Structure 1
Amino acid sequence: MIASAQILVFTLFYVAIFVLALWALIDAAVRPATAFVSAGKRTKRFWLVITGVATAVSFVALPPPLGIGQLGFLALLGAVGAIVYLVDVRPAVGPYSGGRGGRGGRGGRGGTPPSRGGW
């Protein structure tokens, strides 16, 4: 009984990592390349590689009914890459992405660039 619960938790954990990495990959793919440069972040290609590798490794790490069940420790590193993208890069790139992710490319002020934080 306890072993079944452990397997279920293990499976849910790796499915969550896979979904997180896939979300980061799709989000990075739909953002324009110029938004990354405008936000002062690394290039779109860099983040597509990071999130793509994270998605592939986390897919391989899924337990046997869903995946192969190998490279589980690398899936944790992939989760770190996806989390960095979603927590740091995505909010910074959002205002420069046109109609996606917030106020749009104009910052909501009639053509002025979006403000970079502060009070």
Structure 2
Amino acid sequence: MELLSVLDRWIIFGFWILALPVGGYAFVHALRQRADAFAAAGKLTKNAWLGITGVGLLLLIVTSGPMYGGAMFWLAAMVAVLVYIVDVKPAVMEVQGGGPRW
């Protein structure tokens, strides 16, 4: 039983470590895009997405990952940055003529 508990903690710690660069990438990407591209793509404004991804990144850093009582905030932050990456980023890139980059 103890081995599973330790393994569980290492897996959760791994998710937290991987989430930090994802949040950073989403914030930096939003920062580098043109403000008019967000409106042209029919998304929230650039400032709104900078706020969402910035707060998301801050929560990913501060909440100590999905363990130790910060799981709800960590999960909300992760959802916010993933929505940016999966939905907003491709739309903004398409408007700017970049299209999807694989």
- TM above 0.5, yes or no, is yes
The aligned length equals 96
Letter in 2 for 1:52: G
Q: Corresponding residue for 1:24?
A: 26
Let me know the Cα RMSD of the aligned residues: 1.9
Letter in 1 for 2:90: P
**Structure 1 unmatched runs, 5+:** 64-68, 104-119
- Does 1:89 find its partner at 2:88? yes
Deviation at 1:23, TM superposition (A): 1.5
TM-score calculated relative to the size of structure 2: 0.81
* Counterpart Cα distance in 1 of 2:69 and 2:50: 23
- Structure 2, unaligned stretches of length 5 or more? none
1:1-119 equivalent positions in 2, closer than 5 A: 1-62=3-64, 71-97=70-96, 101-102=98-99
Offset of residue 81 of structure 1: 0.8
Question: Who wins on radius of gyration, i.e. which is larger?
Answer: 1
Distance 2:86 2:11 in 1: 25
Q: Percent identity?
A: 32
Describe the shift of the 1:70–1:26 C-alpha distance in structure 2 as closer, same or farther (beyond 3 A).
farther
Structure with greater proportional helix content: 2
Cα offset, 1:70, TM superposition: 5.5
Residue deviations 1:87-118 (CA, integer Å, cap 9, x gap):
111111002336xx438xxxxxxxxxxxxxxx
Task: Tell me if the contact between 1:15 and 1:62 (Cα under 8 Å) persists in the aligned partners.
Answer: no
The alignment's TM-score, normalised by the length of structure 1, stands at: 0.71
